[in-house]
């Protein structure tokens, strides 16, 4: 029976690459986004992770149309970079609300279906800065670091139920955002990466594809870096 996967924020960038990879792998893939856009082959639903009512409705719509969610890729996230002295309480809270609390909400709403199916794969998209930090990203780094504790606690609670929870931690990825950076800035970033280049979104997607499959059933509570060696040792 074809398994159903949900990718939050699956309409662009890394999320879109993950969506396309899982579709190619043969899964039924639903995606959530704030505007309801995404690849034609995906089942698209509007949802705001900061709105519990919106999320309840989205999960219900997905499961009514595709069946129980057995694979969850919690990818949706935001940034709002500011140096600590300039960062407001709201700047911090809004990023944590989407990246950490929003992930909790969608995991909580998917877990019952995984338990009933006796199969579950949860992959949270973290970041190398969740381990090594980054100037101007106290909020973002904290939110991504928190995913590690979440995944490991889920592993402790549900590891015996054929449910795994892992964090994929990308480094610098070739996206529209990195492409817009000045060449000098890009060169500076690349000089810090042992691999000497940015990753492609498809490289992150391939890692997710492995983790949600049967061959990764004994991997849980792990941080899988896709960062060219940038965060090694952390």
Question: Among residues 5, 1, 2, which one has the least CA distance to residue 122?
Answer: 5
Contact 166, 221 (CB under 8 A): yes
CA 166 centroid distance within chain: 10
Does CATH number 3.40.50.720 belong to domain 4-224?
Answer: yes
How far apart (Å, rounded) are the C-alpha atoms in residues 128 and 148? 11
Contact 169, 211 (CB under 8 A): no
Beta bridge pairs of residue 137: none
Which residue out of 27, 140, 189, 218 is catalytically annotated?
Answer: 140
Burial class (CB in 10 A: 0-12, 13-18, 19+), 2: exposed
Per-residue pLDDT of the chain in tens (234 residues, 90 and over written 9) = 899 999 999 999 999 999 999 999 999 999 999 998 999 999 999 999 999 999 999 999 999 999 999 999 999 999 999 999 999 999 999 999 999 999 999 999 999 999 999 999 999 999 999 999 989 999 999 999 999 999 999 999 999 999 999 999 999 999 877 777 788 878 888 999 999 999 999 999 999 999 999 999 999 999 999 999 999 866
Give catalytic status of residue 189 as yes or no. no
* pTM for this model (two decimals): 0.95
Contact 132, 234 (CB under 8 A): yes
Q: Spell out the domain ranges in the chain.
A: 4-224
């Amino acid at each position: 029976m074809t398994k159903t996967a949900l990718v939050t924020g699956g309409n662009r960038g890394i999320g879109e690459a993950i969506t396309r990879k899982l579709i190619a792998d043969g899964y039924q893939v639903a995606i959530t986004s704030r505007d309801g856009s995404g690849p034609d082959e995906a089942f698209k639903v509007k949802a705001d992770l900061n709105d519990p009512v919106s999320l309840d409705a989205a999960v219900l719509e997905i499961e009514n149309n595709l069946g129980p969610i057995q694979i969850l890729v919690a990818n949706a996230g935001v940034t709002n970079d500011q140096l600590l002295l300039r960062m407001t309480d709201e700047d911090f809270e809004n990023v944590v609300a989407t990246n950490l609390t929003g992930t909790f909400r969608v995991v909580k709403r998917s877990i019952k279906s995984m338990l009933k199916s006796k199969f579950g794969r949860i992959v949270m998209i973290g970041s190398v800065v969740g381990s090594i930090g980054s100037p101007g990203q106290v909020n973002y780094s904290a939110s991504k670091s928190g995913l590690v504790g979440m995944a490991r606690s889920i592993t402790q609670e549900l590891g015996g139920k054929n449910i795994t929870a892992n964090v994929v931690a990308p480094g610098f990825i070739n996206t529209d955002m990195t492409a817009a950076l000045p060449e000098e800035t890009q060169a500076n970033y690349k000089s810090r990466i042992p691999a000497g280049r940015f990753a492609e979104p498809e490289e992150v997607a391939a890692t997710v594809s492995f983790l949600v499959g049967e061959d990764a059933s004994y991997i849980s509570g792990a941080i899988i870096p896709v960062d060219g060696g940038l965060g090694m040792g952390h």
